[in-house]
C-alpha cells in the first residue's frame, strides 16, 4: 500500500529535499520557484545536492500544466564556465518539460569571476509540464504609442513578400520582455545567496493563481515562501540547514497577509492597479503603479 501523503501547505521543512518530496504523491504542486547551489560556489551550511534525483522528483510531483522556475548560473573554473546550467536544463527537457529561457539581469555593478566582461545575469529557466495551466503575463512595459494604428507583422513571408498591414489597437501597457532586471536580494538577512523578493513575486504572479501551492525545495532564507504568502498562495519551503529554516520561518511569519484578491491581481494587467491601497504600493507589489 502507498505511504504517500499529500503535502501540508504553509510550512518550512528541514531536510534533504529529494527525500522529503519522495513521500508526496504525483501531481501535487502547482508551481516551484527555486535556485539550487551553483556548482561549488558556496558551502552554505553543508549540503548534498543530487541534481538528477531532485529533478526526477520535481517532474513527478508537478501537476500537469504546472511550472518550475529554476534560477541558476555557472561557476567559472580554470578560465571556463562549467555549463552546469545548460546540462540541468537539458535534463529537465529530457524528462518531458517544455522550456522557456529567461534572464535575471542584476541592476548593481557586478564582480565577475570570469576573465572577460562583468558577469551580470543568471538564467531563469521556466519548465512547464505541458502547456502552463496558469498564465498571467505581467503587462507593465509602457508602449511607446497607444491607440489605433496600422501595423504589419514583422518579417517577410517565406516567398519574400511583405505582410499586409492591418489596424490594431495598441494598449498603453504591453507584456514584459523576457529579461527581468532587479537589484540583488539580501540586505540584513543571514544567507549568502538570497534572490530578490520582486523576482520571486513576479514569477508567482505569472505562473500561478491565488490558492495554488508553491514549492521552494531549496528555500534558503525563504524568499519564495514569503512572496507566496503575500500573494495569497500556499507555500512549502525545504532546506537542509536548520539555521536557514529558522530564518525562513521568521521571514514568513513576519510577512504581510495576502494584499489582494485574484480579481485585483488580474487588474495588474491594467493601470487600474493604481487604485490599490497605498500599503500595496509601498511594498512594491505592483510595478505598474511604481513606474507611473
Ligand X SMILES: C[S@@+](CC[C@H](N)C(=O)[O-])C[C@H]1O[C@@H](n2cnc3c(N)ncnc32)[C@H](O)[C@@H]1O
Q: Does 193 bind ligand X (CB under 6 A)?
A: yes
* Positions 66 through 85 that interact with ligand X (CB under 6 A): none
Cell of 121: 545575469
Q: Does 88 bind ligand X (CB under 6 A)?
A: no
The region of 93-101, 172-180, 217-225, 252-260 touching ligand X under the rule CB under 6 A is 217-225
Q: Does 51 bind ligand X (CB under 6 A)?
A: no
Given the complex with ligand X, which of 44 and 97 has the nearer CB atom? 44
Q: Does 252 bind ligand X (CB under 6 A)?
A: no
Report the alpha-carbon distance of residue 104 to residue 121 in Å, rounded: 5
Residue with cell 569571476: 113
Q: Does 239 bind ligand X (CB under 6 A)?
A: yes
Q: Does 31 bind ligand X (CB under 6 A)?
A: no
Q: Does 35 bind ligand X (CB under 6 A)?
A: yes
Q: Does 122 bind ligand X (CB under 6 A)?
A: no
Candidate list 10, 22, 27, 47; residue touching ligand X; CB under 6 A: 47
Burial (CB < 10 A; 0-12, 13-18, 19+), residue 30, is buried
Candidate list 129, 139, 191, 201; residue touching ligand X; CB under 6 A: 191
Burial (CB < 10 A; 0-12, 13-18, 19+), residue 71, is buried
Given the complex with ligand X, which of 128 and 221 has the nearer CB atom? 221
The region of 45-53, 105-113, 174-182, 202-210 touching ligand X under the rule CB under 6 A is 45-53
Q: Does 218 bind ligand X (CB under 6 A)?
A: yes
Q: Does 229 bind ligand X (CB under 6 A)?
A: no
* Positions 263 through 292 that interact with ligand X (CB under 6 A): none
The region of 120-128, 156-164, 235-243, 273-281 touching ligand X under the rule CB under 6 A is 235-243
Report the alpha-carbon distance of residue 147 to residue 287 in Å, rounded: 22
Interface positions with ligand X (CB under 6 A): 16-17, 35, 37, 44-45, 47-49, 185, 191, 193-195, 218-221, 223, 238-241, 244
Amino acid at each position: 500500500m502507498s505511504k504517500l501523503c499529500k503535502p501540508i501547505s504553509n510550512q518550512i521543512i528541514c531536510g534533504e529535499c529529494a527525500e522529503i518530496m519522495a513521500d508526496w504523491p504525483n501531481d501535487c504542486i502547482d508551481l516551484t520557484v527555486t535556485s539550487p547551489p551553483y556548482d561549488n560556489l558556496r558551502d552554505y551550511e553543508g549540503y548534498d545536492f543530487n541534481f538528477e534525483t531532485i529533478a526526477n522528483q520535481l517532474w513527478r510531483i508537478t501537476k500537469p500544466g504546472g511550472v518550475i522556475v529554476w534560477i541558476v548560473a555557472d561557476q567559472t573554473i580554470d578560465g571556463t564556465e562549467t555549463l552546469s546550467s545548460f546540462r540541468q536544463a537539458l535534463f529537465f527537457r529530457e524528462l518531458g518539460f517544455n522550456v522557456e529561457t529567461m534572464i535575471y539581469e542584476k541592476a548593481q555593478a557586478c564582480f565577475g569571476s570570469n576573465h572577460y566582461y562583468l558577469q551580470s545575469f543568471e538564467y531563469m529557466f521556466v519548465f512547464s509540464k505541458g502547456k502552463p495551466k496558469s498564465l498571467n503575463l505581467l503587462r507593465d512595459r509602457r508602449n511607446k504609442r497607444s491607440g489605433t494604428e496600422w501595423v504589419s507583422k514583422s518579417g517577410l513571408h517565406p516567398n519574400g513578400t511583405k505582410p499586409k498591414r492591418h489596424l490594431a489597437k495598441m494598449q498603453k501597457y504591453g507584456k514584459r520582455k523576457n529579461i527581468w532586471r532587479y537589484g540583488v536580494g539580501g540586505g540584513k538577512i543571514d544567507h549568502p545567496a538570497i534572490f530578490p523578493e520582486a523576482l520571486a513575486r513576479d514569477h508567482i504572479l505569472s505562473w500561478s493563481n491565488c490558492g495554488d501551492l508553491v514549492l521552494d525545495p531549496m528555500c534558503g532564507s525563504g524568499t519564495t515562501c514569503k512572496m507566496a504568502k503575500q500573494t495569497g498562495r500556499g507555500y512549502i519551503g525545504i532546506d537542509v540547514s536548520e539555521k536557514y529554516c529558522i530564518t525562513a520561518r521568521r521571514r514568513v511569519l513576519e510577512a504581510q497577509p495576502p494584499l489582494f484578491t485574484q480579481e485585483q491581481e488580474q487588474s495588474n494587467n491594467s493601470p487600474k492597479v493604481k487604485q490599490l491601497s497605498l500599503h500595496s504600493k509601498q511594498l512594491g507589489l505592483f510595478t505598474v503603479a511604481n513606474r507611473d
